[in-house]
Amino acid sequence: MARNADVVIVGGGVIGLSAAWEAAERGFSACVVDPEPGHGASWVAAGMLAPVTEAGFGEESLTRLSLEASRRWPAFAERVAVAGGEDPGFQACGTVMVAADASDRAAIDHLLGYQQHLGLEATRLSASECRDLVPGLSPGLRGGALMPGDHQVDNRRLVTALLAACAAGGVRLVAQRAGAVSLHGGAVSGVVLADGSTLCAPVVLVAAGAETGRLGGLPDGVLPPVRPVKGHVVRLQGPTGAPLLDRTLRGLVHGRPCYLVPRRDGGLVVGATSEERGFDRTVQAGAVHTLLDDARTLLPGVDELELVECIAGLRPGSPDNRPWVGPASVPGLVIATGHYRNGILLAPLTAEAVAIYLTSGSVPAPLDAFPPGRALEAGDALSTARRPAEVSG
Ligand code: GLY
């Protein structure tokens, strides 16, 4: 059968789009299949690039991967901007974490001790030091910490920029749902689309996030066990030129994590819940109420902002919170999914690893330690529901 592309990518989120673009940059013809490219978890996300504030107890290998990914971001953002002519909105802004009460302070100190033990850049702050860095903070807060290397990118501008870079690089977009991977002689031969047509390719990259398990056509157990983890996000808007924040603010509010990520245009993204509710994307009043209440507990000026959007998305969770990247047991099948809370942060590194794999047949370090089909590491096998980093925000 005639080949439609060298590689078909199932899933047009930041992982799939970045991988398609990097593959095209290396001379592969790439085709992305997604009914609404960039409008899944990538659209709902806040865009934090936070290897330190997301570091969880027992997740050292993920933290090392995240740090490596974070170092790639400035150059990646620049390359995407040049390739497609759209600025993805990367900001080296740093992050302040604050505690609402004494018990939140103790939890932050506990996490800080662990982060410092790993040699991560994180400094304890008194309440007045927090207010010096974030003047709009509520007066009653109990201090916190500075993570100067935890930055952000505007996730929606990033989607636009990646789509432009893909278009400039000749990546084909097919706005359909992928129904199944097709096989011939036990190897991948392409993807069957929702309308029944087939795209023929010797390689299929599955970058379908939380939807990964819905892809048909493969023997049981070939696709990794991704599960959806719901997150509510609220988007607020203030006047351009007078932002409430000039860096990311994360907080613990009576045990609940909350983050406020400021955009250059006066926007503020407030997130996020973490809920095990299957594929439910309903926006619930209680979740929105709690997010807003916690945000205004940290930063009272939030009350004056316009409420522009409430949305919920599905993170692609894995049993050990780590992604799967690399070839699967079926020849021609490549996996890049399960990035959970760090999809945007890990996109450049994942895309580069996929492109190198397509070229050389090997996944480079450090992602070679995250293969599909791996056994869980004892230290990384904490259940997501008890994940300590979420206690710390
Ligand atoms: N990366 C933040 C979140 O998943 O909520």
pLDDT digits over 275-305, tens only? Answer: 999 999 999 999 999 999 999 999 999 999 9
CATH number at residue 18: 3.50.50.60
Residue 326 in any domain: the answer is: yes
Verify that 14 and 42 share a domain, yes or no: yes
Residue 179 structural domain: 7-83+155-226+319-392
Query: CA torsion sign, 321 to 326 to 329 to 332?
Result: positive
pTM of the full predicted structure? 0.95
For the chain, give the mean pLDDT: 94
Tokens of 10: 């199932």
- For residue 391, the tally of other CB atoms under 10 A from its CB is 18
Mean pLDDT of 182-210: 98
Taking CA atoms only, the protein residue closest to ligand 1 atom 2 is: 341
Which among 125, 141, 393, 115 has a CA at the least distance from the CA of 274? 393
At 240 the pLDDT is 86
Q: Name the least confident of 50-64, 128-142, 173-187, 377-391.
A: 377-391
**Structure letter (DSSP) for residue 243:** -
User: For 86-115, how does the pLDDT look when each residue is reduced to its tens digit (9 = 90+)?
Assistant: 999 999 999 999 999 999 999 999 999 999
The number of distinct structural domains making up the chain is 2
Verify that 59 and 77 share a domain, yes or no: yes
Residue 88 in any domain: the answer is: no
Rounded Cα distance, 147 and 93, in Å: 10
Tokens of 207: 């970058």
Residue 2 in any domain: the answer is: no
- Listed in sequence order, the residues at least 6 apart from 10 whose beta carbon sits closer than 8 Å to its beta carbon are 16, 33, 34, 178, 181, 191, 204, 205, 206, 207, 208, 215
Verify that 309 and 360 share a domain, yes or no: no
Residue 105 in any domain: the answer is: yes
Verify that 234 and 383 share a domain, yes or no: no
Query: What distance in angstroms lies between residue 367's CA and the mean position of ligand 1's atoms?
Result: 21
Residue 353 in any domain: the answer is: yes
Verify that 76 and 197 share a domain, yes or no: yes
Q: Is 70 exceeded by the pLDDT of residue 379?
A: no
Q: Is 60 exceeded by the pLDDT of residue 353?
A: yes
Verify that 294 and 244 share a domain, yes or no: yes
Verify that 107 and 218 share a domain, yes or no: no
Say how many Å lie between the first and final Cα of the chain, rounded: 51
Taking CA atoms only, the protein residue closest to ligand 1 atom 5 is: 272
Verify that 292 and 168 share a domain, yes or no: no
Residue finishing a domain among 268, 285, 317: 317
Task: Specify whether the CB–CB gap between 208 and 337 falls below 8 A.
Answer: yes
Residue 329 in any domain: the answer is: yes
Residue finishing a domain among 261, 286, 317: 317
For residue 213, which amino acid is it?
G
At 324 the pLDDT is 98
Instruction: Report the Cα 25 to chain-centroid distance in Å.
Output: 23
Residue 1 in any domain: the answer is: no
Rounded Cα distance, 171 and 206, in Å: 16
Return the ligand 1 atom nearest residue 340 CA. 4
Verify that 251 and 370 share a domain, yes or no: no
Return the ligand 1 atom nearest residue 233 CA. 5
- Listed in sequence order, the residues at least 6 apart from 8 whose beta carbon sits closer than 8 Å to its beta carbon are 30, 31, 32, 33, 178, 190, 191, 199, 201, 203, 204, 205
132: exposed, middle or buried (Cβ count in 10 Å: 0-12, 13-18, 19+): exposed
Query: CA torsion sign, 5 to 360 to 380 to 115?
Result: negative
Q: What is the largest CA-CA distance in the chain?
A: 68
Q: Is 90 exceeded by the pLDDT of residue 373?
A: no
**Where is 7: in which H helix or E strand?**
strand 7-10
User: For 257-280, how does the pLDDT look when each residue is reduced to its tens digit (9 = 90+)?
Assistant: 999 999 999 999 999 999 999 999
Q: Is 60 exceeded by the pLDDT of residue 365?
A: yes
Rounded Cα distance, 263 and 365, in Å: 33
Return the ligand 1 atom nearest residue 48 CA. 1
The pick from 70, 341, 346, 390 for probing ligand 1's pocket by mutation, whose C-beta has the most ligand atoms within 8 angstroms, reads 341
Q: Where are the beta strands (DSSP E) in 216-337?
A: 227-237, 248-253, 256-262, 267-271, 306-317, 324-327, 333-337
Residue 90 in any domain: the answer is: no
Phi, psi of 224 (to 5 degrees): -70, 155
Verify that 55 and 99 share a domain, yes or no: no
Tokens of 334: 């490549």
Which among 79, 86, 85 has a CA at the least distance from the CA of 22? 79
At 101 the pLDDT is 98
Query: What distance in angstroms lies between residue 268's CA and the mean position of ligand 1's atoms?
Result: 15
Verify that 144 and 179 share a domain, yes or no: no
Residue finishing a domain among 317, 347, 369: 317
At 387 the pLDDT is 41
CATH number at residue 244: 3.30.9.10
Query: CA torsion sign, 91 to 77 to 240 to 313?
Result: negative
Ligand 1 lining (C-beta closer than 6 Å): 48, 231, 271-272, 315, 341
Which three-class secondary structure state does DSSP give residue 317?
Answer: strand
Phi, psi of 192 (to 5 degrees): -90, 125
Rounded Cα distance, 254 and 142, in Å: 12
Return the ligand 1 atom nearest residue 345 CA. 1
User: Residue 388's pLDDT band (boundaries 50, 70, 90)?
Assistant: very low
Verify that 122 and 250 share a domain, yes or no: yes
Instruction: Report the Cα 151 to chain-centroid distance in Å.
Output: 13
User: For 337-351, how does the pLDDT look when each residue is reduced to its tens digit (9 = 90+)?
Assistant: 999 999 999 999 999
